[in-house]
Amino acid sequence: MCEASLAEKLRSLGSQEVDLIVRIRAAPSEYISKLEQMGLRVRRQFTLLKAVAVRGKAQDALKLWDEPWVEAVEEDKTVTIF
């Protein structure tokens, strides 16, 4: 799903909880408090990938697109193996 489609989906979900992966341009630890101020809970940090897994309201997650330190936003989905 491209980021434009994800943004549309988040707008339609409003206050429903969503799980996302946020790729960050610098060390993720520098932005934990900013993510929390946006209403998102950091569930996990991926330091090698410069990314974090977050959970929060879809409407709060839309704020990520306005942040210059955010490289990309993706849905956090469960991966299954046969």
pLDDT of 55-82, one tens digit each? 999 999 999 999 999 999 999 988 888 8
Q: Tokens 């989905």 — which residue?
A: 77
In a domain, 82, yes or no: no
The arithmetic mean of pLDDT across residues 22-26, rounded, is 96
The backbone torsions φ and ψ at residue 61, rounded to the nearest 5 degrees and listed phi first, read: -65, -25
- Find the domain containing 65 and state its range: 3-75
In a domain, 70, yes or no: yes
In a domain, 10, yes or no: yes
The whole model's pTM is what? 0.88
In a domain, 45, yes or no: yes
pLDDT of 33-63, one tens digit each? 999 999 999 999 999 999 999 999 999 999 9
Position 2 pLDDT exceeds 70: no
In sequence order, the β-bridge partners of residue 19 are 55
Q: At 13, which amino acid appears?
A: L
Tell me, what CATH number does 53's domain have?
3.30.70.80
Segments of the chain assigned E as strands = 17-24, 41-46, 51-57, 70-75
Q: How far is CA 25 from the centre of its chain?
A: 13
